């Protein structure tokens, strides 16, 4: 399910897409980064292991994280915000690496009451 805010801020989305594309071009020049291959491997591995395909925005965020682009994702509960954090770990070159995700859910819940 795509985030509720998709499409509401076209100028920001356009700017974000440009930043990601600039990072892709830099990485391709510096160390032969292949965006299409990376996205395909992440999605194919996710499909094999979890039986679903990633949304384009999830692949964008995962790719931005790989390229060390600062990210901010605003999406509703259950929309799949955790998936982009884990997608980079599905790449063969990241075998043996792990992610530590700290989510202060109880603190966030207390603030919303």
Query: Which of left, alpha, beta for 84 (phi over 0: left; psi -120 to 50: alpha)?
Result: alpha
Q: Which domain holds residue 85?
A: 10-111
In a domain, 5, yes or no: no
In a domain, 4, yes or no: no
Tell me how far apart the alpha carbons of residues 110 and 89 are, in angstroms, rounded to a whole number: 32
In a domain, 78, yes or no: yes
In a domain, 83, yes or no: yes
Token pair of 106 as six digits:
């109880």
CB of 1 closer than 8 Å to CB of 79: yes
Its pTM stands at 0.82
pLDDT digits (tens, 9 = 90+) for 41-94: 999 999 999 999 999 999 999 999 999 999 988 888 889 999 999 999 999 999
Tell me how far apart the alpha carbons of residues 18 and 16 are, in angstroms, rounded to a whole number: 5
High-pLDDT (> 90) share of the chain, % = 67
In a domain, 60, yes or no: yes
In a domain, 1, yes or no: no
């Amino acid at each position: 399910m795509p985030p509720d805010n998709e499409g509401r801020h076209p100028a920001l989305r356009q700017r974000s897409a440009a930043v990601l594309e600039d990072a892709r071009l830099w990485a391709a020049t510096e160390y032969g980064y292949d965006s299409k291959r990376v996205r395909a491997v992440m999605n194919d591995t996710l499909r094999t292991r979890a039986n679903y395909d990633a949304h384009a925005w999830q692949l964008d965020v995962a790719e931005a994280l790989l390229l060390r682009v600062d990210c901010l994702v605003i999406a509703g509960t259950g929309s799949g915000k955790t998936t982009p954090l884990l997608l980079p770990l599905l790449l063969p070159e990241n075998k043996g690496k792990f992610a530590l995700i700290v989510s202060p859910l109880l603190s966030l819940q207390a603030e919303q009451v």
